[in-house]
Structure 1
Amino acid sequence: MTSSSWADFQAAEPAFADTVRQRFQQYKHHVLATVRKDGSPRVTGLEVEFRLGEPFLGMMPNSRKALDLRRDPRFAVHANPGPDAEMADGDVRISGRAVEVTDPAVLAAFIDEVKPPEPFHLFRVELTEVVRIGLEGGDTLLIQTWRPGRPLRSFRRGNDDGSLTDAP
């Protein structure tokens, strides 16, 4: 599956990228899904830091999620829906591959900005899919999806028969 940097996503769909970034920045803690050694999913909490122009996933050394990503870099991060879970700003998820950061200059710049507890693992994000689902008009879902090399797609799903229709 083709992956893309955050910069490429932002260049392709700047308004959508801003909406997704803002949604992740509303709350500190989010939910990460990784793949365990046996192939089953592991779901854990983490913080997503938008620094140096892209999202980073930081975690404690040798944590299960870090070891999962080192073995199999596939992940999905679901933005915290908020305290009331009404998701007034939509439900957002990014998926892709997590690439461990080993460049000393990038690590130093991240440490300088974030001041994380050390030691830690740091992963940058290569996107394979970005999804936002929100309510439109109270009872219609607006589903937006972006994948590398494709334009943003929007669908609507009403309460009637549950079918999807392309949104203009």
Structure 2
Amino acid sequence: MTTWQEFADVAPRIAKIFIRRHAATGNLCMLGTLRPDGFPRISPMEPRFFEGQLWIGGMPGTAKFRDLVRDPRFTLHTATVDTQVTDGDAKVWGFVEDVRDEALHQRYAEALFAETGFDLRGQKFENFFAADVVGASAVEVGGDHLDVTVWRVGEAERVIRKH
């Protein structure tokens, strides 16, 4: 499994853009999953970083989480409304692992409460998905060019410049 921290260490340019865009939208991202019929589902969500990992959590019993239980493939795209992409844009994809560690759940709940005031302390988590990042890309616009940075597991981050 490639944790968020491991990904950020080998693909720092993409990670920096993802984190910047994630923060700029109040943590809002668009999650792509696969419906039971194979068609894609796009859902807004607020992934969180905790203990070096990217967590995809939220309201239990939702269609997006049923999708992930059935098929763990996902993509996560930073939300943007800027058609010129002046602040950049990033996406990661891979697989989720449903982590059943109740002590970790409670540490996460404590940190979430301290940071946001949202209280999950003492609750049992139905699903708690860690992202196993296997690929990522980002876009940056500068002057007369567009830089597309791509990364895949086992490869170095590389930049493709388009004029």
TM-score (norm 1): 0.82
The C-alpha deviation readout for 1:49-68, integer Å capped at 9, x for no partner, is 11222211112111000000
1:11 alignment partner, SS class? helix
Q: How far 1:19 sits from its partner (Å)?
A: 3.2
Question: Is 1:155 matched up with 2:152?
Answer: no
Residue number in structure 1 paired with 2:7: 9
Task: Give the Å deviation of 1:18.
Answer: 3.0
Provide the rounded CA distance (Å) in 2 between the counterparts of 1:144 and 1:31.
19
Alignment map for 1:121-136 (pairs within 5 Å): 121-136=127-142
Structure 2, unaligned runs of 5 or more: none
Q: Aligned Cα RMSD in Å?
A: 1.9
Query: Residue type matched to 2:22 in 1?
Result: F
Q: Which has the higher contact order (CA 8 A, sep 6+)?
A: 2
Aligned to 1:44: 43
Q: Distance in 2 between matches of 1:144 and 1:43?
A: 23
Say whether the 8 Å CA contact 2:86–2:140 is kept in structure 1: yes
Deviations 1:95-129 (A, max 9, x none): 11111121112111110011345565321110011
Aligned residues: 154
Give a deviation string over 1:4-51, Cα, whole Å, max 9, x none: 221221222345423322222221221111001111100111001112
- How far the C-alpha of 1:92 sits from its partner, in A, is 0.6
Q: Are 2:18 and 2:89, in contact at CA under 8 Å, matched by a contact in 1?
A: no
Unaligned 5+ runs, structure 1: 159-168
Aligned to 1:164: none
Equivalent position amino acid for 1:79 in 2: T
